[in-house]
Structure 1
Amino acid sequence: MAEGISSFWGPVTSAEWCEKNYVYSSYIAEFFNTISNIPGIFLALAGLINAFRQRFEKRFSILHISNMILAIGSMLYHATLQHMQQQGDETPMVWEMLLYIYILYSPDWHYRSTMPTFLFFYGVAFAIVHALVRLRIGFKVHYVILCLLCVPRMYKYYIYTKDASAKRLAKLYLATIFMGSLCWLFDRLFCKNISRWYFNPEGHALWHVLMGFNSYFANTFLMFCRAQQLGWNPKVAHFMRFFPYVKIQKPKTQ
C-alpha cells in the first residue's frame, strides 16, 4: 500500500496481482486491473445491441450479458481485493464457459432438454462448492479443462467456414487469447522482477483488455456460424470500416 493512503475495504483477503495496492485511490486497490475491464463491458454491450437489433437467438444475448457480468465482477474483485468479490469474479467465469459449451455443442445434440438442464445444475453445484471451499489451483485446472472442451468444436467451425472475414475473426480470437495468456503468465511468474522496474507494464490489466476483445471476436464468430446453420446469409460487416459485426438477411416467410 502506498504510504499515507488507507484502505476503504479493509485487509486483503483475496489473491493479489503484480500491481501496487491503493496507489491512486483509497477506494480502488488495483487501479489498472480494475479499469482495464471497461473495454470488455463496452464490447459486450456492442455485441448485445447487435444481437437485439438483428433478432439473434436469446442465447447470444445471454452470452453478451454474461461477458458484462464477468467484467463487472472482475472490477469489483480488483477494486476491493476481498475473497467474496474474488468468488464473484471466478464463478461467472465458469458459468460463461458452460454457456459457450452449450452454444458450441447444442446444434448437434439430439436430446435438447438434457444439455441445458445438466449444465444449469452443474453451474449451480459449482457455485455452491466454490462458496464453501476455497479453491485455488483446483479452480484454475477446472477452468482450463472447460476451455479445452471448447477447442474441438471451435476448430470444426473454423474448417467448415469458407468466408474469409469470418475466418479472420477466428484468427483474431486465437491471437488475443495467445497474447493475453502471455501477459497473464508474465505478470504472474515474474512479479518480483517487474516490481523492481521503474515502469510496470501491468500484464494482468493487458490480459483484461485482450480478453475483452477475445470474447467479442469469439461471440461474433459464433454468431456468424449459427446464422449460417440457420440459413440467414450472414456477412461480416465493419462499423466505420474497422469494428467487425455480423450482418444477416433472414429469408422471407412464405
Structure 2
Amino acid sequence: MAPTTASFDEIGYWSPNTASVDWCENNYVVSYYIAEFWNTISSLFIILLGELGLYLCPTKERRFKVTFRTIGIVGIGSTLFHGTLRHKMQLLDELPMIYAATALVFICVETKYGPQGRWFPIGLATWLALTTIFVSITGGKIQFYTFQASFGVLQLAIIYLTATLHHQQKPLILARGGQNHSGWLITRALCVYSFAVIIWLIDLHLCEFINGVGPNSVLKWNPQLHAWWHVFSITGVYFSTLLIAYQHYVAKGLNPSVYLWKGFAPALTLDAKTLNKNAKLN
C-alpha cells in the first residue's frame, strides 16, 4: 500500500502511527502490543543472518565485521519499527540499511580500484551524515522516497561493481587453477533478491487487493508479503555479501571457495597456505 495508514487497522499500545509508511499487514491483530506482528517476527531472521555471517567469516577484517554487524543492527531496527510503527524506530531500521550498503560499496570500490586514500572514507562519511540528517528531519512521502532513492543508488552501484569484478577476475582465478564460484553467488543473489523486490512492490502498491479484509481484496487472508520480503531480501543480501567477500579475497590472492556450513548455509573458506602468507589483513 502507499505510505499512509490503513483505515482497517486496529488501535494498539503504540498508536497513533507516526512512521512515514504503514505496510500491508493489518495492525494490532495478533497482539495489542505489536503493531505488525508477522513483520516484526520475520525481522528476527535478519538478525540471525547478520550474526551467522559474522560467525562464519573466514577472517577478522574490520570491514566485514562492521558489515555483518550492521546487517544485524538492521534486523534490530526492523523489529522495533514494525513492532511500533513509530518514526524514530523507522530511522533505526532504514539508516542502518544505508550504512550497511555503503560499507559494501566501500569494499567493492577498494577491491576493484585498490585503496583510495583518506578522501574516500571521509567522503562516504560526509555523504552518510548528510543523508542521515535529511532522512531524519523529513516525513511523509518525502522521507519515504528519499530513503528509497538513496538505498536504490547504493544497490545499483553494488550490482555494477560486482558484475565488473566478476568479469575482471575470471582470468585471474583460472590462471591460479581455482574454481570460479563468483557466478554461482551472483545467480543466487540476483534471483533471490529480485523475487524479494517483486513481492515488496506487490505489498506496497496492491495492498487493497491482497489484505484479506478490505472491500476490494480478492484474497480472504493476508499473505504477509512484507514479512516474506524480510526473509528473501536478507537472504539475497547474505549471498551478495558473500560475493563481495569472495571477490575481495580473490584480489588478496587467498583462493576462496564456497562450501555449505552444516549442509545448508553457504559460507567461504580460504586456502590455508595462502592465508598464512597473507596473515596480516587490513
TM-score over 0.5 for the alignment?
A: yes
Hey, what's the Cα distance between the residues in 2 that align with 1:13 and 1:100? Answer: 31
Instruction: Give the Å deviation of 1:164.
Output: 4.6
Which of 181, 187, 198 does residue 203 from structure 2 map onto?
Answer: 187
- From the superposition, tell whether residues 111 and 6 of structure 1 become closer, same or farther in structure 2 (CA, over 3 Å): closer
Letter in 2 for 1:180: A
CA contact (8 A) 2:35 2:83 kept: yes
Deviations 1:9-49 (A, max 9, x none): 12111110111101111111001111111222111111101
CA contact (8 A) 1:45 1:68 kept: yes
Deviates further, 192-201 or 71-80: 192-201
- From the superposition, tell whether residues 106 and 165 of structure 1 become closer, same or farther in structure 2 (CA, over 3 Å): closer
Which of 244, 262, 272 does residue 222 from structure 1 map onto?
Answer: 244
Hey, what's the Cα distance between the residues in 1 that align with 2:86 and 2:146? Answer: 19
Hey, what's the Cα distance between the residues in 2 that align with 1:110 and 1:220? Answer: 20
Letter in 2 for 1:124: A
Letter in 1 for 2:231: V
CA contact (8 A) 2:17 2:86 kept: yes
Letter in 1 for 2:239: F
Is 1:99 aligned to 2:83, yes or no? no
Is 1:172 aligned to 2:178, yes or no? no
Letter in 1 for 2:249: A
Hey, what's the Cα distance between the residues in 2 that align with 1:240 and 1:84? Answer: 38
Hey, what's the Cα distance between the residues in 1 that align with 2:159 and 2:26? Answer: 35
Identical residues among aligned pairs (%): 28
- From the superposition, tell whether residues 95 and 253 of structure 1 become closer, same or farther in structure 2 (CA, over 3 Å): closer
- The alignment yields a C-alpha RMSD, in angstroms, of 2.1
Which of 127, 131, 141 does residue 126 from structure 1 map onto?
Answer: 131
Is 1:85 aligned to 2:107, yes or no? no
Q: Which residue of 2 aligns with 1:46?
A: 52
Q: How does 1:60-71 map to 2 (within 5 A)?
A: 60-71=64-75
Hey, what's the Cα distance between the residues in 1 that align with 2:269 and 2:123? Answer: 32
Is 1:243 aligned to 2:265, yes or no? yes
Count matched residues: 251
Letter in 2 for 1:221: L
The secondary structure found in structure 1 opposite 2:259 is strand
Q: Which residue of 2 aligns with 1:23?
A: 29
Instruction: Give the Å deviation of 1:118.
Output: 0.8
The secondary structure found in structure 2 opposite 1:139 is helix
Which of 135, 147, 160 does residue 152 from structure 1 map onto?
Answer: 160
Is 1:213 aligned to 2:224, yes or no? no
Hey, what's the Cα distance between the residues in 1 that align with 2:251 and 2:236? Answer: 23
Letter in 2 for 1:188: L
Q: Which residue of 2 aligns with 1:34?
A: 40
CA contact (8 A) 2:108 2:248 kept: no
Q: Which residue of 2 aligns with 1:8?
A: 13
CA contact (8 A) 1:166 1:224 kept: yes
